[in-house]
Structures are given as C-alpha cells and as structure tokens.
Amino acid sequence: MTSSRRLLPLGASLTRGSFATDQIRNGFLTSFRGFATVTSSESEAALANLEAKYAVALPECSTLDEEITKIRREFELAKQRFLNIPEAINSMPKMNPQGIYVNKNLRLDNIQVYGFDYDYTLAHYSSHLQSLIYDLAKQHMVNEVVESLILMAVSFNPNCFFFFLSIVFRITCSLFLQFRYPDACFQFKYDPTFPIRGLYYDKQKGCLMKLDFFGSIEPDGCYFGRRKLSRKEIESMYGTRHIGRDQARGLVGLMDFFCFSEACLIADMVQYFVDAKLEFDASNIYNDVNRAIQHVHRSGLVHRGILADPNRYLLKNGQLLRFLRMLKDKGKKLFLLTNSPYHFVDGGMRYLMEDSFGLRDSWRELFDVVIAKANKPEFYTSEHPFRCYDSERDNLAFTKVDAFDPKKVYYHGCLKSFLQITKWHGPEVIYFGDHLFSDLRGPSKAGWRTAAIIHELEREIQIQNGDSYRFEQAKFHIIQELLGRFHATVSDTHRSEACQSLLDELNNARQRARDTMKQMFNRSFGATFVTDTGQESAFSYHIHQYADVYTSKPENFLLYRPEAWLHVPYDIKIMPHHVKVASNLFGT
C-alpha cells in the first residue's frame, strides 16, 4: 500500500503542485496567515486591529474565559480571511475526471479476459431516459388493471378480442378499478434535480434517505415524500440517526443508474398520499413502484422507446470502439454479459458503432462470447443452463451448450457453467458494470477483478476541483475544528451568554458552508460519494466492498498502458478520487 499509483502521460489521476503541509503548532492563527497573501492593505489593517482587540497577554490559557476569547479571536480572523480565496488552493492536487481510481491493487498485464455489462457500461444514455422510464412506470401504475385485462382478453381468444374485451370490462372493471392509482398521478413529472444514486428507502416508515459510511442518516438528506425532515423529526421517528441492524432490514438500496426515476416516483407517490390525507402502507408504495419499473423493462416498453429514437437517448462515443479494438489487438478475450434482450443490445450497438464499422463489419466480431438475458445477480449463484438463441427466428434451441461459438448468442446460464466452458478463472478476468450488487458483488466473490462504471463521477470531480468548492471545504474544516475546541472547553451546563453567542455563530457559519457545498452537487441530497460533513457515503462503502477500481467510462483505460500497475494511493483517507482540503493547508 506504500506504492503510489503509476501516473502515465494523459492518464494521470492526480497532478500535484508544491504546497505547504506544515502541521498546526501555534493554534489557528498561524494557519490563517496563509490568507494574508491575497488580502488588500485595508484588510491587513483590519486584521491588525482585530489581533490587537482580541490579543491575550498570557502565554497559556488558564481560565475558561481566556480560552473562549482565544477561540473568538481566531474565528474573527478567519472570517476576514474568508473574504478571499487563498492562493494556496491553486497549488492543491487536481484530480482527473477521466482517471481510474483504485481500491485494490491491479496489474493490467495479468488481465487476459475483459467482460462487460451493456446498459450504462458500454452504452451510456442521455438524461431523457430517466424521464422515459418515469413516465412509462407512472402510466403502468395508473393503467395497470386495464393493461392486465387486455392481456387476459388476447390470451383467451385473439380472434374475438373486441367482443371478449367488452364483456370483461362490463363485468370486472367495477371490481378492479378501485386498485388503480389515481388519474391525478398523470400530472407527476420527473425531477432530475431531486434524486442521486445510492439512496435508501425505508419500506416501514416511507422515508427516502442518504446514509453515511457507518449507516447513519444524513441530517439534511432524509425526505418523507418531497418534504425534507428536520433533525428533530428524524430523531423522533428513528430515536437516533444511526440505523440499527433491525431497522436496516426494512431498507432497500437504490444503487444502479435506473434508480433515479424509481426514487423520484416513490417520493412523488408518497407525497400524493400525504397531500390527499389518505392512509397508505409505505411498503406497498415501494412494491408497486418497483414492480412498475421492472415491468417497463421486462415488457420491452423502454427498449422499444430507446430504439425508436436512439438519437435522443443513446450517446455515441468513438473512443469505446477504439478501446475494444485495442484489447483485441493485444490478444485479450472479450465477453458481453447483460440482462437485456439481444435485439435491444444489437440495435443499440449498431447505432453506437454505425459511424465506425463498414457494411460487412459487425460489433459481434469484437466479442468471443455474447450472453443476453443473463438474469443477474441470480446468474452468479444459480445452476441454470445456457440456451443458444436464434436471433432470426427469435427462439431458443433445445440442445445442450458445452462450448461457446463467437458467431452465436446465448441466453440465461450461470457462472458455474460459464467457468467450466471457458476455463477462465480468478484474477485473469475483470468485469465492468454499473450496478454494485447485481453486476459486481457476484464476480467479486468469485475471485474476478471488478471495475465499477460510475457516470456521475466526472461531474463530481470537476466540482471538487473547483476553487469555490475547495474554499468552502476549507472554511467548513476550520470552523469544525474551532467547534471541537469549543465543546472540549465548555460544558453544556455552564455556558455564559458570550459562550452561547459564539457557539451559535460557529454553528451558523458551519451550516452555511455545508449548504453551499451541497448545492454545488444536488440541492436535495448533495454529493454521491460523500456526505455534507465530508464523511464517505454508504454508496462509497459499497464501492470499497465490490469494486477493485472505478471510473466514469470503460474507455478511460485508454489513458493507461495495457501493462500498467494500478496501485492504491499511499495517502488515501477517503475515496481515492476525493481530496480533503485541510485547514492547515493555508499555513505559511
């Protein structure tokens, strides 16, 4: 772990400048002087007056009042420095938004087999897709009974469809329509500013929440419907912010990229029942929304919508083909393992590659094995047999599959049979996927190397690289340390008016810095990987568990040599891509 990540031309995840890292030895006053290089002469004069006003003659604090005076003085000096962004921030490391970030050391020269999921791994989608999924699922929840009756009629006798349907409606609609979601739900609109990935829904209490690394509820990230709960409401509902083992059983994680529409629809449905003052079971809300989301995928509604207008939903990327061809040229084996049906994958890949392939070429030539409708995560634990799929006749063969033909497509199957057929084992295989549970948990336990594809990583790194975010983070840490000193000095039962005033000011300043950072990412839940206080999120915890490396797109591997050794940074404290701006950075 003491080795640093190999940094290559155009591929470095980190570029460093020289900057001071001295530890604070004389209190915050020394660190704050780092701001002096960017203040005006008027500010310097004001600072001198402040130092004189709050100067303490004694070399050591021997009384409570003296310590509070010292904290007050340092806080006032800090506020003056907060008026300008310090030059020290410019010398901080800049993280590469297209970098590969390492949780477990990985030697790429040992990898001989590359496996890929399709959705949000090889294929990336525009923001319009979440609205499509949301609208289709919403319509299914309102029209579910009508759709079910139509399917009943067709399956009974397609030749007398309309006659039978009229009879069914007359006899059964009055019985079933009471279970439909209200037509008012048609007014719901997907809100892209509301959800993030990695949220949890409490099926018992109906709350949508963000958790930190230790399973505690983010104070400003817990919603009942679309209303944010206060800390008092959270404590009243849960007793504490920490989710215990018993309570955790009622939580469901929303971890893949399709979860955005699901989280938003859950919150909107809960809010509807709250506003209408109707009783409801939070578990039923989740089950109905989840069933609707699954329906629009399994029924092919989403697939047909995407293929009908690929230019609206699919994002072309010529670098993907370059990456796959580079792997083939290096003699690597490639396989595709996806839950999507073949016709959908084929249509999407044809669109993505149409500008790069000739008339006689096919994306299939890039892969040694293509497996569709794999039913992950059950694929990794079941013993389902593989079936050969005939794409022209749209049916499955009955013959046993004991070898893979690159010219054929396979359905279903299981990991056990896959390993027996291919003889690919352990650390020579790496699998790329976007869903930490469905895609990566199984391969990780099987000994494969794993790569998480997290599309939103690029945007969050770009924000974290910005001076405004780092400045607010430095302010937050400075105030946080002042608050720590305050609470270590003053007990709750012996607070003077001056002490309480200082405490209120510090808390307010910390909250302002926290809110400012949060708004830079997402107004409701903040950043995906860290909490508002800089702790790792529960989503980050799962990345640590199941992803050896993570990046925003598979083709980012082009920025690294195929034989590179990717190492865990020796100085890592939280996520490898995240730089913590410490208060002592501004020491001079």
117 is catalytic: yes
The answer to whether 1 and 554 have CB atoms below 8 angstroms apart is no
Neighbour count for residue 586 (Cβ, 10 Å)? 25
Residue that the structure tokens 């300008």 belong to = 84
Active-site hit among 22, 65, 119, 275: 119
The answer to whether 96 and 13 have CB atoms below 8 angstroms apart is yes
119 is catalytic: yes
DSSP secondary structure of 443-468 = HHHHT-EEEEE-TTHHHHHHHHHSHH
Active-site hit among 22, 65, 109, 117: 117
Going by C-alpha positions, the residue among 578, 560, 572, 573 that lies closest to residue 106 is: 560
**Which amino acid would we find at residue 80?**
Q
Distances (CA, A) of 348 to 103, 282, 345, 361: 32, 37, 5, 15
- Burial zone of 533 (CB within 10 Å; 0-12 exposed, 13-18 middle, 19+ buried): middle
Q: Which two tokens stand for residue 503?
A: 């405490």
Spacing of C-alpha 323 from chain mean position = 24
- Burial zone of 250 (CB within 10 Å; 0-12 exposed, 13-18 middle, 19+ buried): middle
- Give the DSSP H/E element, type plus range, for residue 349: helix 342-353
- Give the DSSP H/E element, type plus range, for residue 8: none
Angle (CA) 332-338-340 rounded to 5° is 145
Neighbour count for residue 561 (Cβ, 10 Å)? 14
The answer to whether 285 and 206 have CB atoms below 8 angstroms apart is yes
Residue that the structure tokens 């096919």 belong to = 362
Whole-number Å distance between alpha carbons of 384 and 387: 9
The answer to whether 571 and 579 have CB atoms below 8 angstroms apart is no
Contacts of 222 by beta carbon, 8 Å cutoff, 6+ apart: 207, 208, 209, 210, 228, 229, 234
Whole-number Å distance between alpha carbons of 241 and 90: 37
Neighbour count for residue 338 (Cβ, 10 Å)? 23
DSSP secondary structure of 537-554 = BHHHHHHHHH-SEEES-G
Whole-number Å distance between alpha carbons of 115 and 108: 14
Maximum separation of any 2 CA atoms in the chain, in Å? 99
Whole-number Å distance between alpha carbons of 421 and 418: 5
Q: Kindly state the DSSP code that residue 123 receives in the 8-state scheme.
A: B
Residues annotated catalytic, as ranges: 117, 119
